[in-house]
Amino acid sequence: MKDFAGRTAFVTGGANGVGIGIVRNLLNAGCKVAIADIRQDAIDRALASLDNREVMGIRLDVSSREGFREAADRAEAELGPVSLLFNNAGVNLFQSIEDSSYDDWDWLLGVNLHGVINGVMTFAPRMKQRVLAGEQTGGHITNTASMASFVAGGIPGIYNTTKFAVRGLSYSLRHSMCDYGIGVSVVHPGLVKSYIYASDDVRPDELKREMKPVDTDHVKRLEGVHEFGMEPDVIGERILDGIRENRANIFTHPDHKEEVRELFDEILSDYRDYPPDAGFDQRVGFEKMRQEKFSETRRKARDLAR
């Protein structure tokens, strides 16, 4: 999809970080934009900085299915049908899996994974139906994962889990939505100049019962690290470039290319040349048909950009 002008976009986590970079680039490209964020003060600051262009703010907890539906209805009533969806909201928790609680899991899964699911389940059927009815041409769904969807250290364990899941969701959705001329991309940012290090500030009270005390010294150190993260506007520009080319993966940071190559080499090195077992030939025959069909599906999805 090459032309953004005149389209309506919905951006979660849109009031700061990667989100505000996406918003500013969309507005510069001639879009109407709904900024969805859980913090009203952040929404107000974002709107005040955008010169009253065709933009609105909506307070939204992305983990709420009903809240997402209401936000979608409101955005489309004011700005028109959404054909560009950015599931970008995210939080982080810097601790290992074995040291985490169920409250920790429910919080991160609710925002990072269920928030993406809720966005997709709210907007994808609407976009598909409008294409089928001849009311919309094309569109794009962009889900923000992270380099943490490839690079999984011991910390942050739950965050890694959610981002791997967003990558898988995005790949599958890409291969179904291409039938309707709607592209899907997953974004993998590295270090960003943002406030994600202070995610505990927006943690719901009902999910604080089993949380560990906030390590304020660690948060302060992370604040210093994020100061040299990539500027959100640069990331937003690169994301729009990736959408124009309908890339399955949008890598905004060149920092990790060799590390990813090394990781995939390690994965391939774990294969073993075992001797054929009973049923091997039949299984390989079935897999060959599946692989050919999958290859054709990926080609079809890539060709949306042409």
Contacts of 56 (CB under 8 A, 6+ apart): 33, 34, 35, 47, 75, 78, 79
| Burial group, residue 261, by CB count within 10 angstroms (0-12, 13-18, 19+) | exposed
159 is catalytic: yes
Report helix, strand or coil for 276.
Answer: coil
Q: Exposed e or buried b for every residue in 204-219, given b needs 16+ CB within 10 A? A: eeebeeebeeeeeeee
| Token pair belonging to 25 | 């680039």
> Residue ranges of the alpha helices (H) in 29-156?
40-48, 65-79, 102-108, 114-132
Contacts of 266 (CB under 8 A, 6+ apart): none
* Cα 11 to Cα 195: distance, rounded to the nearest angstrom: 17
Q: Which of 159, 171, 180, 274 is catalytic?
A: 159
| Token pair belonging to 69 | 């539906």
Query: Which residue has tokens 């899941």?
Result: 165
**Which residues have a catalytic role annotated?**
159
